[in-house]
Structure 1
Amino acid sequence: AADRIEQIRKADLTVVVTGPDNESIANAEVQARMLKHAYGFGSAVTGCRLAGNPCQDNVYQNKILDLDGQGHGFNEVVFENDLKWDSWEEQWFGPPENVANAAQWLMDQGIRVRGHTLVWPGCTYLPEDLCNNLNSPPYLKNRIDGRLQTALTFPGLSDVVREWDVLNEITYNRDLENAFEGQPGYTTGRELYADIFKKVKEIDPGVGTWLNDYVTISQNNSSGEIYDRYKSFISEILASGGDIDGIGFQGHIGAFPTSIYKVYDILEDFHQSFGLRAKITEYDINTDAGEQVAANYLRDFLTMVFSHPSTDAFLMWGFWDGAHWHDDAPIFRQDWSLKPSGEVFLDLVFNEWWTDAYAITAANGVASIRGFKGQYEITVEHDGQVLKDTVWLAEDLIHPMQFIVTDARETASTSNPLRIFPNPANGAVFIESAIDAPIEVRLYDAQGQLKKSQFEAGRLELGELPAGGYLLVVEQAGKVRREKLIIE
């Protein structure tokens, strides 16, 4: 899995640094600081708790943006109940404008928003009037088309929710299928599903269209009648011209978890069969598994999913026990204390799979960094000048940056009143400043990889770092100081 992740989730960032006359600049310092993953990491959320809506929860809202106290948050979410058809029409959480307000707030924070779900075709999950009119396919069709039109064009949502679970759990929820079976133009009744996908693309050609179900990974199925039924239904929709962009695998894991090798095999089977994108849409694990098993399993599960080329996101079905359908979310307990599985998630997503790297340009002005795909802030410093730019690394990228001599230079802080000691160091290094402003510290090894950044009470713990030369970067009040640090 690690080898696959290295190949498919990372790309080469080549920074080419030149001067005013396009001359190559050697020995320029290049730093690439990751800001956001390209891959989606997130959760189901409750719109009512966000953006000043009636049950606004400031802690809940802030955690979405800052899970670890270091500014690392989700980059993709899905509304748990707010956009479901019956919830929408019955206004479970207030008028639809409230969820549109939450969606706009999420977009303003740079977070992608999924829609769940346009049609859940079982009477348990449909507005009551549809199930009272199952003997009238024209009535049902009119209501379905109206639902699609409203949800896909609602002001404040249509520009934010650019991906929908169009159909949810069609393998077991078959009331609409049965209502249309044998009617004019319908043989099995499932032709309706292709009609729905076509209608969605007719209303909004650019929206992402997904099918979502629990009958594979959640139920520990990689074969059998239900598994085959689901695949055959997908084949029928595609053969009838329904445009499916991706397949959602819910991932509600039982007390006896699905083998991670089976998880990979299921993803691979669907990828080979249909060639569609995939994502885990509703991850959690049964309470009976216990916290430590849940943590160990999440590490293996998330690693395996991240390593499969078809997947583009991993979403939990809630991240806090206080807003989870089984009161047992993967990240936080009711009191907002971090669970072991939360520690695993943060370590993988914002440490092991996170890039903060440093390099020096060669004689040709080129510095190369290999990093996880996503958004980066690039900083180049040379001869007292600093350049900054933001880039999106989706594939191998060559990014030029040019110094232009001006009278207004952003200078490195050679005069910044900092005292760094001892150097050489052993165990810890101390940083004192004559000014009262926050200090950010990063320590890089000789390969340009970030090794330490936890700086508290003027002390940077060096832990068990091996002896050798390191680069210490200290930022305070908008100024930067770089110093070679020797660890003995």
Structure 2
Amino acid sequence: GLPLLANPPEWRLGGPDAASAKLEHVPADGPGFETAWRITTTATTSAENRIVVTAVNAIPIAGGDALLLRFWARTLETQAADGRGRLRFSKQAAFAAPAFTGRPAEGWKLMVSTVPARLSFAAGQHTFTLAVGGTAPQTLEVGGFEFLNYRRTLQTHQLPYACATYEGRAPEAAWRARAEADIEKYRKANLAVQVVDSSGAPVAGVPVRVKMLAHDFEWGTAAGEPRINGASNPDNDRYRESLLAMFNHATLDNALKWPNWEAAGGRQRALSAVDWLISRGLSVRGHAVHWPSWTNSPARIRTEYESKLASLGSAEADRWLREQCETRVRDAVSALRGRIHEWDLVNEPVGNRDFMRILGDSVMDDWFRIARETDPEALFFINENGVEQDGNAKTQSFFEIVRDLLARGAPVGGVGIQAHVGAISIPSYLRALDRFASLGLPITITEFDMVTPDARLQAEFTRDFLTATFSHHAVKGFLMWGFWDNNHWLHDAPLYYRDWTLKPSGQVWSDLIYRQWWTDEERLSDAGGAVAVRGFLGRYEVSAGGVAVPVLLKHEGAEVKLVVGGPAN
């Protein structure tokens, strides 16, 4: 491969809080390298991109090139549980962003990502970014950079890499026994079946089938409106079939966002896709009413606000912005009242604060109240990324935002944790869930993906992340942010490769949700005509002797009586 960075790399310190950091090129004892870049931060910052170190590409990148991005990192000091950072790429390229975490005692860790370039960049036009904010003061070192462009001589899955790992991966990890016990406790209930004849006498020896039809827990995905509404073709047809086969819950990835909703025909396309999902038995989650920044709102909002600010002053401009935001809440929620019962009302408020800077944090209270008034039956969530680990600054910032909303009386209905993650610590993730559960709100994992070139790592981490999530009493649902590589923002979805081959992590999903965490049993009624089954919560069909009845198994359990045949002999 051809080196993408200058030799030595020319890293530069930046970001809004760069004054609270120092970058040094220092001697190092790394694996195969003798110098490293030391990054020292001296203040806690609210988001990882508040302090960054950047370098640009030294050679061109063409769309379709296969890139290997490999470097070493270690934590020297940290005031948090772990030192942490993230490798980011130009957003337009839809490149992966693997996270790295480490403790001082752990030494150097190898970080690897393989990336298919989606766009082309001349030399000097593409920025590689190490984001190290969003946590307590820390000192990290990074070195041994091998950022290589293999052009189109290899595909990304053919590139060399070394395996990463994560805390809690070991089969004997302590969290596993607790998780299995909690799944048994919180995700299952007793189903009692009584088989009688027409006179009411118990009938023994009758085969009784207890067949699960659907989970109570929401297993979902973000879905692409163009794929749902698109014309019949092999990929669209397979996409719709797989969506219905693998999930009982969904959201639209972009169609309900404010700019898309306002675009010509956007509203009708979104409504059509929602109706398609509901008509096929999926519950639907709305994403998102407000992503409260200029960038993620219709361009007209900023243009008109700044025009009014210049001509009429801040009071009138602020009043207009407040009205626009409130109208957006009423419009989206009322249009889907009775169809969508759960919304991300506020998305990513830690880093997207343009509207709150102008109108104050209490404007979110107003949005929640208006949403509740518009649809009293729906739950309205506040959703955030980068909060999957206990002890980092962003997790704390988000926790405080939700806590303060509740303290002011805002009718917040739930906490959304996005979970665009690398190979993060499972015990730390469970502690983060405990922390948010202490707020007394339901939790949904809203946007899971785990980007890595290592299919085995992806599968094992997906298994453990799903298990930890399903075990936690406060979590009501789990959505991935797309399931097929060719309709995924980072082209590395959890379930299917581009050619629709099931990934190892996709097999994990299928095995856990539709086999291990699924109930389908047949037993003979005992002398008293009874059959007892402990099953996973959800919808069932219970049948015997040609008689079948529907049953909804909830936490409190269920009882069902089957009347079969004539009187017993």
Cα deviation digits, residues 207-234 of structure 1 (max 9, x gap)? 11111001311xxx42243322211111
Counterpart residue number, 2:145: none
Counterpart residue number, 1:178: 357
Query: 1:48, 1:99 within 8 Å by CA — same for their partners in 2?
Result: no
Q: Which runs of 5+ in 1 are unaligned?
A: 67-72, 181-188, 407-488
Corresponding position: 1:347 with 2:511: yes
What TM-score, normalized by structure 2, do the two folds share?
Answer: 0.64
Provide the C-alpha distance between the structure 2 equivalents of 1:373 and 1:263, rounded to a whole number of angstroms.
Answer: 24
Provide the C-alpha distance between the structure 2 equivalents of 1:262 and 1:285, rounded to a whole number of angstroms.
Answer: 16
Counterpart residue number, 1:301: 465
Counterpart residue number, 2:324: 143
Counterparts in 2 of 1:116 and 1:223: CA distance versus 1, 3 Å: same
Q: Which runs of 5+ in 2 are unaligned?
A: 1-178, 307-313
What does 1:307-346 align with in structure 2 at a 5 Å threshold?
A: 307-346=471-510
SS of the residue 2:341 aligns to: strand
Query: 2:199, 2:566 within 8 Å by CA — same for their partners in 1?
Result: no
Corresponding position: 1:261 with 2:414: no
Counterpart residue number, 1:389: 549
Structure 1 vs Structure 2: percent identity of aligned residues? 33
- Which one of 369, 380, 399 corresponds to residue 560 of structure 2? 399
Following superposition, the deviation at residue 158 of structure 1 comes to 2.5
Following superposition, the deviation at residue 48 of structure 1 comes to 2.1
What does 1:204-219 align with in structure 2 at a 5 Å threshold?
A: 204-217=375-388
What does 1:221-300 align with in structure 2 at a 5 Å threshold?
A: 221-254=389-422, 257-272=423-438, 274-288=439-453, 290-300=454-464
Query: 2:543, 2:562 within 8 Å by CA — same for their partners in 1?
Result: no
Corresponding position: 1:121 with 2:292: yes
Structure 1 runs (4+) deviating above 6 angstroms are: 53-56
- Which one of 262, 272, 278 corresponds to residue 101 of structure 1? 272
2:248 is aligned with what amino acid?
Answer: N
Corresponding position: 1:46 with 2:209: no
Counterpart residue number, 2:140: none
Query: 1:292, 1:340 within 8 Å by CA — same for their partners in 2?
Result: yes
Corresponding position: 1:17 with 2:195: yes
Counterpart residue number, 2:51: none
Provide the C-alpha distance between the structure 1 equivalents of 2:230 and 2:562, rounded to a whole number of angstroms.
Answer: 42
What does 1:22-33 align with in structure 2 at a 5 Å threshold?
A: 22-33=200-211
Provide the C-alpha distance between the structure 1 equivalents of 2:406 and 2:346, rounded to a whole number of angstroms.
Answer: 14
SS of the residue 1:243 aligns to: coil
What does 1:388-427 align with in structure 2 at a 5 Å threshold?
A: 388-395=548-555, 396-403=557-564, 405=566
Following superposition, the deviation at residue 344 of structure 1 comes to 0.8
How many residue pairs match? The answer is 377
Provide the C-alpha distance between the structure 2 equivalents of 1:294 and 1:340, rounded to a whole number of angstroms.
Answer: 8
Following superposition, the deviation at residue 53 of structure 1 comes to 6.4
2:250 is aligned with what amino acid?
Answer: V
Provide the C-alpha distance between the structure 2 equivalents of 1:335 and 1:3, rounded to a whole number of angstroms.
Answer: 38
Query: 1:47, 1:53 within 8 Å by CA — same for their partners in 2?
Result: no
Task: Give the stretch that moved more between structures: 338-347 or 121-130.
Answer: 121-130
SS of the residue 1:376 aligns to: strand
SS of the residue 2:281 aligns to: coil
Query: 1:46, 1:79 within 8 Å by CA — same for their partners in 2?
Result: yes
SS of the residue 1:124 aligns to: coil
Cα deviation digits, residues 25-49 of structure 1 (max 9, x gap)? 2222110111111111121001221
Provide the C-alpha distance between the structure 2 equivalents of 1:227 and 1:278, rounded to a whole number of angstroms.
Answer: 14
SS of the residue 2:436 aligns to: helix
SS of the residue 1:161 aligns to: coil
Provide the C-alpha distance between the structure 1 equivalents of 2:399 and 2:536, rounded to a whole number of angstroms.
Answer: 33
Provide the C-alpha distance between the structure 1 equivalents of 2:501 and 2:273, rounded to a whole number of angstroms.
Answer: 25
Counterpart residue number, 2:25: none
Query: 2:382, 2:414 within 8 Å by CA — same for their partners in 1?
Result: yes
Counterparts in 2 of 1:98 and 1:170: CA distance versus 1, 3 Å: same
Provide the C-alpha distance between the structure 2 equivalents of 1:25 and 1:307, rounded to a whole number of angstroms.
Answer: 38
Cα deviation digits, residues 128-163 of structure 1 (max 9, x gap)? 222231641211111112111211122xx3322111
Provide the C-alpha distance between the structure 2 equivalents of 1:18 and 1:361, rounded to a whole number of angstroms.
Answer: 10
Query: 1:212, 1:247 within 8 Å by CA — same for their partners in 2?
Result: yes
Query: 1:53, 1:98 within 8 Å by CA — same for their partners in 2?
Result: no
Corresponding position: 1:80 with 2:253: yes
Following superposition, the deviation at residue 85 of structure 1 comes to 0.5
Following superposition, the deviation at residue 106 of structure 1 comes to 1.0
Alignment RMSD (CA, Å): 1.7
Counterpart residue number, 1:160: 339
1:88 is aligned with what amino acid?
Answer: W
Counterpart residue number, 1:426: none
Query: 2:261, 2:270 within 8 Å by CA — same for their partners in 1?
Result: no
Following superposition, the deviation at residue 341 of structure 1 comes to 0.5
Provide the C-alpha distance between the structure 2 equivalents of 1:98 and 1:45, rounded to a whole number of angstroms.
Answer: 13
Query: 1:83, 1:117 within 8 Å by CA — same for their partners in 2?
Result: yes
Provide the C-alpha distance between the structure 1 equivalents of 2:266 and 2:288, rounded to a whole number of angstroms.
Answer: 17
SS of the residue 2:285 aligns to: strand
Following superposition, the deviation at residue 286 of structure 1 comes to 2.0
Provide the C-alpha distance between the structure 2 equivalents of 1:129 and 1:47, rounded to a whole number of angstroms.
Answer: 24
Counterpart residue number, 1:436: none
SS of the residue 1:159 aligns to: coil
Following superposition, the deviation at residue 379 of structure 1 comes to 1.1
2:488 is aligned with what amino acid?
Answer: H
Cα deviation digits, residues 283-315 of structure 1 (max 9, x gap)? 001234x21111110011110111000011111
